[in-house]
Structure 1
Amino acid sequence: MAQATAPAMSIHDEDSSESRMVVTFLMSALESMCKELAKSKAEVACIAVYETDVFVVGTERGRAFVNSRKDFQKDFVKYFPLGWSAAR
């Protein structure tokens, strides 16, 4: 039986994949912090940009605000064009 092999990932692809995984992990940690802040009745939204991906976490109302404001997301991506991330 023939074996199919996946093409080898380049070092850049591996770095990119690893970086994306780190961003996802950190956003998950931020989400946990947001849940704790919500217990104090705080509304929070955190947004991160990695390459072409926009990650948004926070309280339900905080996420709803950021997700409803596509113009805000576009401006955020323009401000951080090289994949920088920040929380707000």
Structure 2
Amino acid sequence: MAQVVMSALPAEDEESSESRMVVTFLMSALESMCKELAKSKAEVACIAVYETDVFVVGTERGRAFVNTRKDFQKDFVKRRKGRRDA
């Protein structure tokens, strides 16, 4: 269910690699919650941004919606960059 929508990073340092693993682990936990919500017929999508990677988990329809809305993904990346620069 989890997928990385975009990735454009060059080689990573060790700290970055560890942080990316944490994000991936937490997105897996969210994925489990999404599966439970789907049992109630809820459509769910969760987006996480790490560096320039956009992680999306959720129900099939939720992920499909997010994947068709590239503007959402770009906005999340922009906001992430804005927070980092502040």
Task: Report the TM-score when normalising by structure 1.
Answer: 0.77
Deviation at 1:79, TM superposition (A): 1.5
Which structure has the bigger radius of gyration? 1
RMSD: 1.8
Structure 1 residue aligned with 2:33: 33
1:1-88 matches, within 5 Å, as 13-81=13-81
Query: Relative to total residues, which structure has the larger strand share, 1 or 2?
Result: 2
Tell me the SS of whatever aligns to 1:42.
Answer: coil
Contact 1:51 1:83 in 2 (8 A): no
- What is the number of residues matched between the two proteins? 73
Structure 2 residue aligned with 1:4: none
AA partner of residue 33 (structure 2): M
Q: Which has the higher contact order (CA 8 A, sep 6+)?
A: 2
Q: Which runs of 4+ in 1 moved over 4 A?
A: none
Query: Relative to total residues, which structure has the larger helix share, 1 or 2?
Result: 2
Identity %: 88
Task: Report the TM-score when normalising by structure 2.
Answer: 0.78
